[in-house]
């Protein structure tokens, strides 16, 4: 595991000062709320969607060309956006990273990851393509998965017109996008994926009491003075997981490996993977469990841990220095492999 220290150096159990101040401005979410049953009547979709993503800044030097296009899939067109450094760049754009936005399968968009994709393209000198897969509840499972799988096939089959020539793709995503990236790896029979980069991937949709690894607050190091704030951040995404089960899974059980990849058993075609996590991410425990599972099978897995941070930190590019650091990590992977 690669450890990225927080503002507190080697200390564990403390929220980054910026995350702490932001959390203090919001109501606490008590542990008891996580145990409440959620029905469709309890869900305010518009409010949820409006709250997806955080303000980010464009840190690129304005030499990235952005092009919107449509990917033809079976009986539908999927919106996509391509990022590439402007003509005259001394580098050849031989590689392509496909990025899948987060948003709990119910929100997020091409716009929410615009600045991240631009900066990755600029610093890696690779083509970056963001996919606007369909969202629940309008399109529940397996809609998003089908959109991404078909889009990857189309992208690799049309690499010439997309201005890259590598025979494989890099696939990255955050939260729900990380989930989709991992699931695509499970179904990569053509071996078109060179590496997955899953950023705090939502790898388990099962209820806390049913988790394979026995999810528990005690598995986190939590400083007493930050306890209520850390619990609030964990509980927010525990509740979101319950909402996902109502709106996205619908009639499918959460233990389906194509919904919760921690339940996967067949890794025959699985590519190399980098798992990026945050110290106080609700999905940290499922990612550690998944990482150990892959390692036990002899697969290539890297785990990067950002201390002091929580789920969604990559959204805050330009205001949180660790988000820019992660862009550099991704760019370095693309350049070095």
Q: Which residues contact 38 (CB under 8 A, 6 or more apart)?
A: 239, 242, 243, 246
Token couple for 62? 């304005």
What is d(CA 280, CA 282) in angstroms, rounded to the nearest whole number? 6
What is d(CA 92, CA 275) in angstroms, rounded to the nearest whole number? 28
Q: Is the dihedral of CA 161, 92, 132, 282 positive or negative?
A: positive
| Phi, psi of 320, deg, nearest 5 | -120, 115
State how far the alpha carbon of 276 is from the alpha carbons of 48, 198, 201, in Å. 24, 6, 8
Residue 175 a catalytic site member: yes
Q: Which of 130, 151, 175, 198 is catalytic?
A: 175
| Phi, psi of 39, deg, nearest 5 | -115, 170
Furthest-apart CA atoms within the chain: distance in Å: 58
Token couple for 3? 């450890």
Active site residues: 175
């Amino acid at each position: 595991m690669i450890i990225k220290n927080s503002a507190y150096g080697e200390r564990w159990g403390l929220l980054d000062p910026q995350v702490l101040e932001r959390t203090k401005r919001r109501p606490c979410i008590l542990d008891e709320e996580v145990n409440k049953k959620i029905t469709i009547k309890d869900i305010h979709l518009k409010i949820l969607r409006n709250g997806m993503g955080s303000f980010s800044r464009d840190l690129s030097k304005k030499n990235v060309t952005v092009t919107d296009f449509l990917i033809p899939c079976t009986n539908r067109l999927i919106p996509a956006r391509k990022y590439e450094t402007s003509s005259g760049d001394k580098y050849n754009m031989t590689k392509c990273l496909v990025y899948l936005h987060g948003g709990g399968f119910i929100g997020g968009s091409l716009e929410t990851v615009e600045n991240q994709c631009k900066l990755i393209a600029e610093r890696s000198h690779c083509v970056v393509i963001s996919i606007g897969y369909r969202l629940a509840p309008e399109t529940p499972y397996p809609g998003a998965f089908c959109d991404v799988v078909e889009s990857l096939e189309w992208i690799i089959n049309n690499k010439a017109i997309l201005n890259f020539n590598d025979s494989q793709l890099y696939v990255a995503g955050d939260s729900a996008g990380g989930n989709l990236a991992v699931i695509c790896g499970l179904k990569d029979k053509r071996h078109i994926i060179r590496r997955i980069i899953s950023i705090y991937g939502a790898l388990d949709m099962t209820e806390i009491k049913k988790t394979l690894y026995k999810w528990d607050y005690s598995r986190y190091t939590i400083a007493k003075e930050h306890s209520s704030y850390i619990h609030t951040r964990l509980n927010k995404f525990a509740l979101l997981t319950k909402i996902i089960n109502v709106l996205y899974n619908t009639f499918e059980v959460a233990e389906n490996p194509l919904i919760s990849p921690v339940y996967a058993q067949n890794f025959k075609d699985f590519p190399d993977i980098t798992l990026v996590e945050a110290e106080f991410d609700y999905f940290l425990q499922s990612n550690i469990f998944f990482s150990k599972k892959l390692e036990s099978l002899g697969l290539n897995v890297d785990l990067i841990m950002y201390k002091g941070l929580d789920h969604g930190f990559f959204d805050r590019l330009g205001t949180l220095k660790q988000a820019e650091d992660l862009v550099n990590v991704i760019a370095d992977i693309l350049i070095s492999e």
